[in-house]
Every structure is written in C-alpha cells, then in structure tokens.
Amino acid sequence: MSPHTTAAYRRDLEALASHLARRGSPDWRTLDGAAIRTFAAAEHAAGLGPRSVQRRLSAVRSFYGYLRREAATTANPAEGVRAPRAEKRLPSTLDVDQMARLLAFRSDDRLSARDKAIMELLYSSGLRLAELAGLSRDDIDLADGTVRVLGKGAKTRIVPVGRAARAALTAWLREHPGGGERALFLSRDGRRLSPRAIQQRVALWARRQGISVRVHPHLFRHSFATHLLESSADLRGVQELLGHANIGTTQIYTHLDFQRLANVYEAAHPRARRRTRS
C-alpha cells in the first residue's frame, strides 16, 4: 500500500482504540456490529464527514479480516455496518480555455522552465502528484513520447506524453544540472522536488495567470480525463491512462461530461428553459 494509505488506516484504527478506551476498554474480541455502529455514529457526531467515516469502517473491516485470517477472532463485526450516505461530489476541472491560459507563460529561466514542464506533464499524461514527484530522468523517453509511471499498488504503466509536454521537458532537461541526483524535477538546492513544493508552485502560477478557481495538481488529472472523454468517449482507454483498477472510478468523469451537456441543453432548449432546475 501507499505510505499515505498506511498512515490513514493507522489513524482510523487509533480512533477506534481511543473510542473503546473512553467506553471502558472492552475486549476487542467481543465487539459486535452494534459497537461498531456506535463508533461510526460517534465519529460522525464529532464532525467527521461521511466519506471519512466510510474509510474508518473500511479500515476496521480490513483489520478484522486480518484477525480472522490469523485465527485471532471468528467474526468481523464491521461487516454490514454502513456509513452515513455521502453526497456525490463531482471533481472540479478547468475547461480547455482556462487550461490554455494557465499554461501560457514564458519559461525563460530555470525555475519557470521546470514549472512549465511539471504542469504540462501533469495535464498531458494525467499523473497523480505522487507519481510525478517520484519520476526519475530514466522514466522519460522523449524520443518515444512516453513516461513510465509507478502508480498505486506499486503498479507500473506507460503513458503517452504530448507534444507540448515533450517540448517543455526538453527545455527543462537543458537546465537540469544532472550529477548524482536522478530525480526528474529538482529543487533550488538540487534535490528531488517534494510534493508540497509542487503544490505551492502550481498555486503560484495559477495566481499569476489570473485563474480564479483554486488550482492544485490533481485538478490537472481531472481536466485531463474530462477533456479526453469529451473528445473520444473511450472510457476504457481513459481508465488505462489514469491507472484506475476499477472502471467505476473512471465513470465519474462521464457524469462531469453529462453535466456540461445538461447545462447546454437547459440553457438553449426552449422547453428546458421554461422549467426551474431542482
């Protein structure tokens, strides 16, 4: 698992341990579904959102699944316990014109050349932040126009790199000091650029370019998927490019596209304009 996943599951199980301690530390082997439902309700009442409660329960289910495999318990009390229904939120995206404006800055020094290469590659290939931050020079093949990415679950995939991104990467690699550090993107002091620094640089350029919405690295991935689906409608292909294990994860972008079409319809169709949107 990703280190972020491991840390999140640890926090979830520690939350359960704290809850049990407050209630007199009952033996975890005796917990039943009612006790887990009480835990989930208490977390939600304390202000935890439905999605976070869902992850708490997922962590507990996985933990008890492990205990059953180890013959430390015979039942999984979290099975069948449901979190509060989460409101389905569609990811934010930039439209094509906004993305073009964001990327239309001059890269006439080392930092701007690096930042342009970062942002062009994020949009060109739909990479996750951790995937981009983990890239080394050897992962990029500019002649072939591809990048080798280590994704979630330590799965490797090969993703195309578009013409604009290849040009930006070529310009950046001319500035790359090389040496012993093989990371693709480097900080001022020649070390691998951290995910946090990438987030800060993306936000900085968004402000400079007059983009009014909050821009973060994952927004490039959402925009990449949405724009591809608008042009191709190839859901399975976009799934492969994004590295999603389950096509259900990719399907949210079809909702985004339909939402755009629905807005156009309701703004333009004479019958649609007569009714009020619910």
| DSSP secondary structure, 137-191, as one string | GGGEETTTTEEEEE-GGG-EEEEE--HHHHHHHHHHHHH---TT--BSSB-TTSS
Q: What are the structure tokens assigned to 181, written together? A: 């550090």
Q: How confident is the model at residue 233 (pLDDT cuts 50, 70, 90)?
A: low
Q: What is the pLDDT of residue 175?
A: 83
**CA-angle at 84, arms to 79 and 88, nearest 5°:** 115
Q: For 185-225, how does the pLDDT look when each residue is reduced to its tens digit (9 = 90+)?
A: 999 888 899 999 999 999 999 999 999 889 999 899 888 88
Closest CA to 230 of 253, 252, 250, 202: 253
Residues marked as catalytic: 128, 152, 218, 221, 244, 253
User: What is the fold of 96-211?
Assistant: hpI Integrase; Chain A (1.10.443)
**Quick one: tokens of 266?**
């309701």
Give which of 34, 10, 12 is closest to 23, Cα–Cα.
34
Neighbour tally for 252: CB within 10 Å: 15
* Mean pLDDT score across all residues of the chain: 84
181 pLDDT tier (thresholds 50, 70, 90): confident
Domains of the chain, by residue range, sit at: 3-69, 96-211
Q: Where are the beta strands (DSSP E) in the chain?
A: 140-141, 146-150, 156-160
d(C-alpha 124, C-alpha 62), whole Å? 36
- CB count within 10 Å of CB 30 equals 9
Q: 226: which 2 tokens?
A: 């949405």
* pLDDT of residue 229 exceeding 80: no
Per-residue b or e along 179-209, where b marks 16 or more CB atoms closer than 10 Å to that residue's CB: eeeebbbbeeeeebbeeebbbebbeebbeee
- Residue 194 near residue 133, CB atoms below 8 Å: yes
What is the pLDDT at residue 105?
93
Q: What tokens appear for 111 in the block?
A: 């930092």
Q: What is the mean pLDDT of residues 146-170?
A: 89
Percent of the chain with pLDDT over 70: 83
Work out the average pLDDT over 124-131: 90
Say what the pLDDT of residue 274 is: 53
Model confidence at 132, pLDDT cuts 50, 70, 90, reads very high
Q: Is residue 154 over pLDDT 60?
A: yes
**59-75 average pLDDT score:** 90
Q: Which of 98 and 273 is assigned the larger pLDDT?
A: 98
Contact 171, 117 (CB under 8 A): yes
Q: Is 274 or 223 the better-scoring residue by pLDDT?
A: 223
pLDDT of residue 151: 83
Residue with structure tokens 């949405």? Answer: 226
The two counts, helices (H) then strands (E), for the chain are 13, 3
| Interatomic CA distance for residues 27 and 214, integer angstroms | 46
